Amino acid sequence: MSDNTTTETVTLTVDGQDVTVPKGTTILQAIDQVGTEIPHYCYHAGLSAPAMCRLCLVEVEGAPKLLPSCVTQATDGQVVHTESENAVGMRRGVLEFYLVNHPLDCPVCDQSGECKLQDYVFTEGRERGRSREPKRIFGRDDFGGDVLFYGDRCVMCTRCVRFMEEIEQKPLLTIVDRGTRSIIDTFFERGLEEAEWGGNVVDICPVGALVSKDFLHKARAWDLKHTPSVCGSCSQGCNIDLHTRDNLVHRIKPRFNADVNGHWMCDYGRGNYEWLNRSDRVEEPTFVDDGRAVQLGWDATLEALEQRLAGVTGGVKAVVSASWSNEDLGAVAKFVESLGGGEIVFRSARAEDESPLKGFPSLARRRDLVPNIKGAELLGMTRVGGDEGRGGLEGVADHDGLIVVLGDDLADQDESFGSKASLFVYLGAHTSVGASAAHFTLPVSTFAEQKGTFTNHEGIVQEFLPALEAPGSARPASYVISSLVGAPA
């Protein structure tokens, strides 16, 4: 037996270029591999292909008609033309059909700038449509959840219907009526509020028919900066892009990762970004000197801290948040170790159940509602407190040695937390009553403001990049701490 595990392949020609693909590949995928994009609406890599938009038609030598590349299998020796007169002419024709009833309301449409109808028509549509006829009017409908439907913009690709049917497997959407009167709808008043993954239909809608209520009229697509990141809302670690403008996160979109989240993300994670925009931030390093809070900049503050550390007694206790990166948590661990070791705990909110995505079994909104539980655990940190992410700090609050807190807002604590400590260092993003007794309050950046990694529930380490600028003098916790570890004690 040979250990040859390569699958059978076929070689075809796409626009004069040879391409070899595994048997069973569709022509559309082969075209993709060549680096050309063939226009399409109904085809989506994560869904079944109904071949109904008729945009991806290509000319295949020997075939009597143009063939839908999304469902036609590539075969050996096939000669495919995507740019032949016939294929281009047909696409131009189909695009004109799409515009017969389209309202052309791009100036007020949220999709403008990331709209496939706009893109395709601009690239290869007719300069002017020939229809002089009155347009069909469907109007607007609230689909429930975060989803708003503009019927007139719909291209009837049915991706949304298929997502709900095949992936979430809660068929809350359907096509109502038929022919030119057909329209996407819910079962009367029962809509996507029953869905937990409904926001994905907005992502996969190639036009502005399904839009997010949350994002409605907030920003133009071309003004948004897209930064690859990892969702911070549970331990699944969905790959996302943070869409920002004016140093604010405006929305979260899933980013494809075949192993983790495919094309999808849950509504909970998608909607949970406002905390990244909080304005109650710790902005300047502050320390208490002779009973007075002073802000003398990082250098002086860290120098003062080094001095205070040298005299500290009573052992170290640390509280961290698993919403901080492996690098930040690792720095804390190293720091504690450098001081002779001590207990490091974290608290995290846990949901009652997982909420799996039936059509993509490896994806679920996990029980742990923070991104880096696994990372913290691998670093030997211990979970304390209840499922609501509170409590469990009784042993720390009254500690008389060194207390180090990273990221945990201490929201359930009062002014007395750490008041008996010989030294209380708060590395935080947000101002907190629980940190009132801190001797040192050091502003750190959130994951959205820095580079780093999270380890997801399966142990996959995933990188994120800075999408926002940290406020004031805030900097990554790992920078702050490592400068202490490196310093002579």
Partner 1 sequence: MTDGVPFKNPGWAGNTGEYELTEAQVRGHDYVGTRPRDGGHPAGAGSYPYMLVERHPDAPLFEGPYLERFNKIKTRYPDLRATLLPTLNLAQEVRGHVSPQTMDEVASLLELPPAYVRGVATFYTMYNKQPIGRFLVQVCTNISCNLCGAEEVLKAFLVYADTELGETSQDGNFTVIEAECLAACGFATCVQINSAYYENLTAKGVPELLEHLKSQVGADGEGEGG
Partner 2 sequence: MGYPYSHDSEVPILTKHFGEPEARTLAGWKARGGYVALEKALAMSPADVIEEVKASGLRGRGGAGFPAGIKWSFMPSEREKPHYLCCNADEAEPGTFKDRELIRWTPHQLIEGCLIAAHAIQAEHVYVYCRGEFFEATQVFARAVEEAYEAGIIGADLMGSGHTIDLTVHVGAGAYICGEETGLMNSLEGRRGEPRIKPPFPAAAGVFGMPTTVNNVETLCAVPHILANGGEWYRQWGTEKSPGTKIFCVSGHVRRPGNYEFPLGFPLSELIHDVCGGIRDDNALKAVIPGGSSVPFLSEAECRDCMLDYEGVVEAGSMLGCASVIVMDEKTDIVHQVRRMAEFYAHESCGQCTPCREGSDWVVKILRRIEDGRGTEEDLDTLMEITRQMTGTTICVLSDSVAAPVQSSIEKFRDEYLALIRRGERVGAA
Structural element, H or E, at residue 403:
strand 402-406
Instruction: Tell me if residue 81 falls in helix, strand or coil.
Output: strand
CB 235 within 8 A of CB 458: no
Spell out, one character per residue from 183 to 202, where the chain touches partner 2: x when CB under 8 A holds, - when not: --------------------
Q: Which two tokens stand for residue 361?
A: 């079994």
Spell out, one character per residue from 110 to 139, where the chain touches partner 2: x when CB under 8 A holds, - when not: --------------------xxxxx-x---
Task: Please choose which of partner 2, partner 1, none residue 170 contacts, taking the beta carbon within 5 to 8 angstroms, the exact cut-off set by kind.
Answer: partner 1
The residue to which tokens 């009062």 are assigned: 414
The identity of residue 205, as a single letter, is C
Give how far Cα 229 sits from Cα of 233, 234, 251, 314, 337, Å: 12, 14, 12, 40, 30
* Region from 149-157, 182-190, 258-266, 353-361 binding partner 1, contact rule CB under 8 A: 182-190
CB 222 within 8 A of CB 235: no
State the Rg of the chain over Cα: 28
Among 13, 15, 51, 430, binds partner 2 (CB under 8 A): 51
For partner 1, give the closer residue by CB, 174 or 431.
174
Among 23, 65, 140, 190, binds partner 1 (CB under 8 A): 190
Q: Which two tokens stand for residue 348?
A: 């995290």
Q: Is 172 in the site for partner 1 (CB under 8 A)?
A: yes
CB of 49 to partner 1, least distance (A): 19
Task: Please choose which of partner 1, partner 2, none residue 171 contacts, taking the beta carbon within 5 to 8 angstroms, the exact cut-off set by kind.
Answer: partner 1
Spell out, one character per residue from 137 to 176, where the chain touches partner 2: x when CB under 8 A holds, - when not: ------------------xx------------------x-
Among 13, 50, 106, 461, binds partner 2 (CB under 8 A): 50
C-alpha 353/C-alpha 355 separation (Å) is: 6
Among 79, 100, 108, 176, binds partner 1 (CB under 8 A): 176
C-alpha 489/C-alpha 484 separation (Å) is: 8
Q: How many residues does the chain have?
A: 489
b/e sequence 205-243, b meaning 16+ C-beta within 10 Å: bbbbbbbbebbeeebeeeebeebebbbbbbbbbbbbbbb
CB of 97 to partner 1, least distance (A): 21
Interface residue list for partner 2 (CB under 8 A) = 50-55, 57, 64-66, 68, 71, 90, 93-94, 96-98, 100-101, 130-134, 136, 155-156, 175, 177-182
Interface residue list for partner 1 (CB under 8 A) = 170-178, 185-188, 190
